[in-house]
Amino acid sequence: MTKQFKPTIKRRIRHPGEIFKQQFIVRYNLKIQDAANKLHINRVQLSRFLNGHDAVTVTLARKLEVATNVSAEYWLNRQARFNLHEAQRQQHEVQAESLFG
């Protein structure tokens, strides 16, 4: 028997780049180029992350951890939550069957 799961979307989940931008770039009035230099990535890479075009990778999460003292696990979990939210938002209905009968 196929069951249908219809997720309810209560609120928007922010991309981790947006969180980083607000909590660090804006709050501390940092220039994108300066932050990119501190993270040892190029400005375009950082800009794509800040604007939600690129996801947090393990490498970037580790760099963010060093730069912000916020755990890599936090950044990766935020990315996972964002990905799941986006998948639910874009796909209104998911069909699946139980593995257990």
- The structural domains of the chain, with segments of one domain joined by +, span 14-94
- CA distances to 43, 50, 96 from 39, rounded to whole Å, are 10, 13, 41
Q: Return averaged pLDDT per consecutive 10 residues of the chain, 101 residues in all.
A: 57 95 98 98 98 98 98 99 90 79 79
Look at the domain 14-94 and name its fold.
Answer: 434 Repressor (Amino-terminal Domain) (1.10.260)
Q: What is the pLDDT of residue 12?
A: 86
Q: Give the C-alpha separation, 101 to 1, whole Å.
A: 9
Buried b (16+ CB within 10 A) or exposed e, 66-82: eeeebebebbbebbeeb
